Amino acid sequence: MDDRKRKVFVKSYGCQMNVYDATRMTDVLAGEGYEETTAMESADLIVLNTCHIREHASEKVFSELGKIRLLKQERVASGLDTKIAVAGCVAQAEGAEILRRQSAVDLVVGPQNYHRLPELLRRTDNGASVIDTEFPLEDKFDHLAHPTADKIRARGLNAFVTVQEGCDKFCTFCVVPYTRGAEVSRPVRQIVEEVERLAASGVREVSLLGQNVNAYHGEGPDGAVWSLARLATRIAQIPGVARIRYTTSHPNDMTDDLLQAHRDLPQFMPFLHLPVQSGSDRILAQMNRKHSVADYLRQIERIRAARPDMALSSDFIVGFPGETDAEFEDTLRLIEEVKFASAYFFKYSARPGTPASTMGDHVPEEVKVERLARLKALVDGQRDAFNAAMLGQTVDVLFEKPGRRPGQIGGKTPWLHAVHVDGPKELIGQIASARIIEVGVNSLYGRLNDSHTEASH
């Protein structure tokens, strides 16, 4: 082999946990001499980090693989070795089926096995196809390489840190309990060390990730089981950490201590993604969500009592099997009652192996499209009202990067609005307070307050 540096291209689909996993994969591969590239054509190793959540997400992978096969053929014809790896949730769910559908694939690796990438790639060196979708006994996080300080800096001020993986909830529509396995929480010490390393290289905002992050129950340094609130309180003590967020939460796991932490912990940002999926009790029961509409509304009330300025977002599924017009209207009513700052909407997609996929009584595509548009219009209006209410307010902004125009810098409010101000580059990485003087469609415009010293977070 020639001695030039090998290059790896990683493309991630799906949730933020995949984005985090992509960084961990490139960190492991750096130890094998691979440097990251954003140009797929120049990569010696192409990794598709896939998502299985909806049919569309899953099928995209196979059409992408078709194109990559041609690229591989061209490169191999020019004497350039090229490997294709499929990682993520499609890898976990489909395993050998991927090789059957696309023989150009060299490696299929599930999310629990990324620490084995170097060894697995070596096993493909003689042209063999390799599959590893086992749930290993060892903890992958104990074996994954850490990023260098330069890499952390290049990735910016915000970092994702997975603290919990998998899900035990088994909503009837969802593949996650099958692709990511049972709920596992990382030990507190491991997470704290990771955040310390990130913060020492300039990270100011940490997003704690998990499929069910508010069910976090990791081993504490004292041997006791720690909750998410306790973990966040510990992370808040790490010098440099100015903001802490977490996602995604289940409504049934909003514990008292978590709400108390929202009251007490200045670093805890007042923005919560709390998926409800539907506003109909019958559909929620069919989904096995284990909460009613009234339960969800009660949670919202508790959350707002703890943090009156809490902004909320949610996920909704339209066209779950058997969803009637009246049941859909119930979802509109719930949205009107809660008032969201943003939301994600999905057309129900039957996933092989999930209980809902055999429920029958499928809602026609055109009905799903129409319901989706109505939900979106309603929440768009709520989002616009939420943004408009910022006008004239003075808010803390964490400045993250140069702005769109010269002399401008851009950052985020605690509620995730993008803000631009005229201000010095030196403020990037700092929190400063600004008065919002203009509300645009996608961002706010503000004026810095006189003293640009770091606010009290």
Which residues are at the interface with ligand SAH (CB under 6 A)?
Answer: 53-54, 167, 173-174, 176, 211-212, 248, 250, 275, 277, 315, 317, 346, 348-349, 351
Could you give the CA distance from residue 309 to residue 283 in angstroms, rounded to a whole number? 30
Please, which residue, 171 or 238, has the CB nearer to ligand SF4? 171
Coil/strand/helix, residue 440 = coil
Burial class (CB in 10 A: 0-12, 13-18, 19+), 156: middle
Cis peptide bond prior to 358, omega within 30° of 0: no
Q: How far is the CB of 88 from ligand F3S (least distance, A)?
A: 6
- Residue written as token pair 């909704």: 316
The pairing of strands 83-87 and 34-36 is unpaired
Amino acid sitting at position 328: F
Torsion sign over Cα 165, 168, 171, 177: positive
Picked from ligand SF4, ligand F3S, ligand SAH, none, the partner binding residue 346 (CB below 5 to 8 A depending on kind) is ligand SAH
Which stretch in 60-68, 162-170, 347-355, 445-453 sits in contact with ligand SF4 by CB under 6 A?
Answer: 162-170
| Strand intervals (E) in 319-367 | 342-347
From residue 207, alpha-carbon distances to 163, 232, 310 in Å are 10, 10, 17
Q: Which of the 8 DSSP states describes residue 5? A: P
Beta strands per DSSP E along 13-145: 34-36, 45-50, 83-87, 107-109, 130-132
Indicate whether 176 belongs to the interface with ligand SF4 (CB under 6 A).
yes
Determine which residue in the list 61, 105, 167, 283 makes contact with ligand SF4, applying CB under 6 A. 167
Residues at the site binding ligand F3S, with contacts judged by CB under 6 A? 14-15, 17-18, 51-53, 88-89, 175-176, 179-180
What is each CA distance from 109 to 99, 152, 298, in whole angstroms?
12, 25, 42
State the nearest-atom distance from the C-beta of 318 to ligand SF4, in Å: 15
Query: What is the smallest separation between the CB atom of 167 and ligand SF4, expressed in angstroms?
Result: 3
Nearer Cβ to ligand F3S, position 58 or 299? Answer: 58
Q: Binding residue for ligand SF4 (CB under 6 A) from 35, 38, 149, 170?
A: 170
Structure tokens at 75: 């490169």
3-state secondary structure at position 387: helix
Smallest distance from ligand SF4 to CB 282, Å: 17
At 408, which amino acid appears?
Answer: Q
- Identify which of residues 219 and 315 has a Cβ nearer to ligand SAH in the complex: 315
- Smallest separation (angstroms) from ligand SAH to the CB of 248: 4
Q: Does 411 contact ligand SF4 by CB under 6 A? A: no
Q: How far is the CB of 349 from ligand SAH (least distance, A)?
A: 4
- The residue of the chain with the least Cβ separation from ligand F3S equals 14
Measured from the CB atom, the residue of 149 and 369 that comes closer to ligand SAH is: 369
Looking at the Cβ atoms of 52 and 115, the one nearer to ligand F3S is 52
3-state helix, strand, coil in the chain (%, to 5): 40, 25, 35
- CB-wise, 177 or 414, nearer to ligand SF4? 177
Which residue in 52, 72, 115, 250 binds ligand SF4 (CB under 6 A)?
250
| Bridge partners for 45 per DSSP | 8, 83
* Contacting residues toward ligand SF4, per CB under 6 A: 167, 169-171, 174, 176-177, 211-212, 250
